Amino acid sequence: MARPGRPPKEKPKLHPLVDSFLDMLTTERGAALNTRQAYWRDLADFSLYAKGTFKCEIVDASTDQIQSYLKDLGNKIHEKGDSKAQIATRTVARRLSALRQFYRYLVSENIRKDDPTSTIESPKQTRTLPKTLSESEVSLLIKTAGQGGGSDSIRLVCLLEMLYATGLRVSELVGLPLSAIGEDNEFLMVAGKGGRERMVPVSDPAQKALQTYLGIRKQFIGGEESAIQAQWLFPSRTSESGHLTRQRFAQLLKDLAEEAQVDAGRVSPHVLRHAFATHLLSSGADLRSVQKMLGHADIATTQVYTHIIDEKAKKTVEEKHPLSKASGGK
């Protein structure tokens, strides 16, 4: 019997209608490549499960079969330990969401008369606050990155300063074209999710780091200038895309965290994005402005950062307030 999980590395051949659905996401909804790949992974996982367990194609799956898959998926992740419970809930919810979108597409195209996911409830998720870093920890990472010397160190400082100054998604940062830099490096033009373009201001420290980096940028292109590499702000001689990859940047951050003696488990490009938003709001920035800089379509997504601030304030009161100390000592 097939078990749900990550699809094998060798790309399986899926039903042609899966490709049609993914093409629709790209052409009609402006989905980014990463979004398309995420949908493909989710649909591929169920496709393989349906074939192995029920001997049916994804387009013919029933409500009971989908529920069986989701239950099996949740159980499999829970087997890895109680600490994975929240991950299991999020994974099941994401898979169900992808399947819902797919079957709604089939109904809209008159390929199926029914949506087998319509009666399936999404698992209830408890609110988890995003991980973040303190201002001193971010400063320590930047300072440590600058101690290495050489072009790699200069590039890493620039990446850190720009990510912390702009709150870009990591895919947006590493995929910035050279043309995204505005006049005097004071702003960036960023193409975000759904093709939505936004202008993001760049702080003075980030501008200086960017100017220093631009002086050595060609070292990452190689001897013969490649047209593919030359178009990117952060080119790479080794990646197929021609620019630094998300995975490589994440690994550089992990290595840097260990060097700076900051818990590497708490450091990632996305955590720096969280730090950007949290620190701005803590300093009194307007929620709408932070929403625009982050590229959030819904302000409710941005509001989660106010909860981080509330939790920190609550913890400070509990630890520092004399009455809290007095009551705790009884």
What is the per-residue DSSP string for 120-181?
PPPPP----PPP---HHHHHHHHHHHTTS-HHHHHHHHHHHHHHHHH---HHHHHT-BGGGB
Distance CA 102, CA 42 (A): 11
Q: Look at the alpha carbons of 19, 20, 23, 29 in this order and tell me if their dihedral is positive or negative.
A: negative
Among 59, 68, 51, which residue's Cα sits nearest to residue 21?
59
Question: Which two tokens mark 8?
Answer: 């094998």
- CA-CA distance, 212 to 187, in Å (whole number)? 16
Q: How many other C-beta atoms are found inside a 10 Å radius of the C-beta of residue 187?
A: 16
What Å distances lie between residue 228 and 117, 176, 177, 224, CA to CA?
Answer: 43, 13, 10, 12
- How far is the C-alpha of 185 from the C-alpha of 91, rounded, in Å? 40
Q: Which residues are catalytic?
A: 169, 193, 270, 273, 296, 305
Each residue's pLDDT tens digit in the chain (330 positions)? 565 665 545 678 899 999 999 999 988 888 778 889 999 999 999 999 999 999 999 999 999 999 999 998 877 755 544 445 555 777 888 999 999 999 999 999 999 999 999 999 988 765 555 577 888 999 999 999 999 889 999 999 999 999 988 888 898 899 999 999 987 788 888 886 666 788 888 889 999 999 999 999 988 886 665 767 889 999 998 888 889 999 999 999 999 999 999 998 889 898 888 888 888 777 777 667 767 777 766 666 666 656 544 454 444 434 443 444 444 443
pTM of the model: 0.60
Q: Rounded distance, CA 199 to CA 102, Å?
A: 33
